[in-house]
Amino acid sequence: MMRDLIPGRFAFGKTNLTLPTILIIGYVILAADSGGTLLSKQALRGILAYLAVPIIIGLAQMVVLAIGQMNLAIGAMGGATCALMATLMADHQIPVALALIIGLTFATLLGVINGILVVITQLNGFIITLGTMTILLGVQYRLVRSFTVDKYSSALQEFGQQNIAGVPYLFIIAIAVAAVLSLYFAKTASGRNLLATGGNAVAARLSGISNVRSIIKAHLISGILVGVASGLSIASLSGINRSIGGDWLLPSFAAPIIGGVLLSGGTVAIFGTVMAAGVVRLVDVARAQYSLDPSWVNFVLGIIVLSTVALSEWRKRRAEENRITVRA
């Protein structure tokens, strides 16, 4: 019943097939043009392993978009968390598992702080996270200075290389996290309350939902996801420096926006976000294949995101029509 009342796609059931089609066609064209090298197990493993982080940061942004806000600090939170975990392991000989737990807790705490600041100041998350972003960049710079921290346990990096039947562990973790998040929004009252706040805060309050709790929850989940993304990046990279996280912002917005999340809040599209992260990755693969300048990725993604935003009014109207037909 709830499913019909709230616009948006929760589970893998009712989804748009456009993105998967684009993904497959794009991959086939690139593979054919590369003369088959892209079809090798090695290449595929590389594509999937480096897809894990974009998926998670896209979801981290999506959760905040679901309450109609933004998290500009995603990259800085991730950078600071990576720097913290790397320095703990390299300089203080903290075991891997403990460092990962500390990192996850740290990122979650950062999310909670964002949420609390948003609630106290009653301002949009965007401007608050602009402030926390600046502070965290300072923290990250202070932790790693101008060095690259790479003297941490090689077990983590080995884990990052492993795979089951050609599918990297990192990618499996990302998909598992996406599935859990999907269940959270589809099946739990807490997830639905969060969407209700995003859809219409006044209506949510009148139905007895605490908007304060929803806002803090959204930023908290965003923090947890950033923590996961940080752990995945440490496992997939050979060292941590001050530039980590600097290029997370655009993909974090591109995935949910292209994936079909309404920017006014109230919806999530987990399958769409995962698929769109794949499309973003494909643009990057294409850039590498034709050895173009990295700024092409920014340009192409920027244009795609801008056109998606420009078409969003039309998309919203379509979503509303869908809702009406579902109700009738």
Q: Out of 89, 96, 133, 224, point to the residue binding other proteins (CB under 8 A).
A: 133
- The reply to whether 132 sits near other proteins by the rule CB under 8 A is yes
x-or-dash pattern for other proteins, window 46-75, by CB under 8 A?
------------------------x-----
Shorter beta-carbon distance to other proteins: residue 4 or 313: 313
| CA 311 to mean position of chain CA atoms | 22
- With respect to other proteins, which residue has the nearer C-beta, 182 or 222? 222
Least separation in angstroms between residue 101's CB and other proteins is 25
243 belongs to the binding site for other proteins (CB under 8 A) = no
Q: Does 135 bind other proteins (CB under 8 A)?
A: yes
> Cα 328 to the chain's mean position, in Å?
35
Q: Least Å distance between CB 254 and other proteins?
A: 8
310 touches other proteins by CB under 8 A = yes
Q: DSSP assignment, residue 267?
A: -
| Residues pairing with 163 in the sheet | 168
Three-state helix/strand/coil letters over 176-193: HHHHHHHHHHHHCHHHHH
Contact between 263 and other proteins per CB under 8 A: yes
109 is a contact residue toward other proteins (CB under 8 A): no
Cβ-based nearer residue to other proteins, 32 or 292? 292
Q: Which residue has the tokens 């499309």?
A: 279
Among positive and negative, which fits the CA dihedral 118, 119, 121, 122?
positive
Is residue 159 close enough to count as binding other proteins by CB under 8 A? no
Least distance CB 205 / other proteins (angstroms):
19
283 binds other proteins (CB under 8 A): no
Q: How far is the CB of 132 from other proteins (least distance, A)?
A: 7
Which among 190, 294, 199 is positioned nearest to 247, based on CA atoms? 294
Least separation in angstroms between CB 137 and other proteins: 5
* Binding of residue 134 to other proteins (CB under 8 A): yes
Q: What are the structure tokens assigned to 240, written together?
A: 């941590």
Cα torsion 289, 292, 297, 303 to 10°: value is: -110
Q: Which residues contact 126 (CB under 8 A, 6 or more apart)?
A: 69, 70, 72
Among 131, 179, 200, 212, binds other proteins (CB under 8 A): 131
DSSP bridge pairs for 33 = none
Pick from 126, 56, 33, 75: which is nearest to 273 by CA? Answer: 56
Number of residues that bind other proteins (CB under 8 A): 47
Under rule CB under 8 A, residue 264 binds other proteins: yes
DSSP conformation letters of 205-258: HHTT--HHHHHHHHHHHHHHHHHHHHHHHHHHSS-B-TTTTTT-HHHHHHHHHH
22 binds other proteins, rule: CB under 8 A: no
The footprint of other proteins (CB under 8 A) covers: 70, 117, 120-124, 126-128, 130-142, 250, 253-254, 257, 263-264, 293, 295-303, 305-306, 308-313
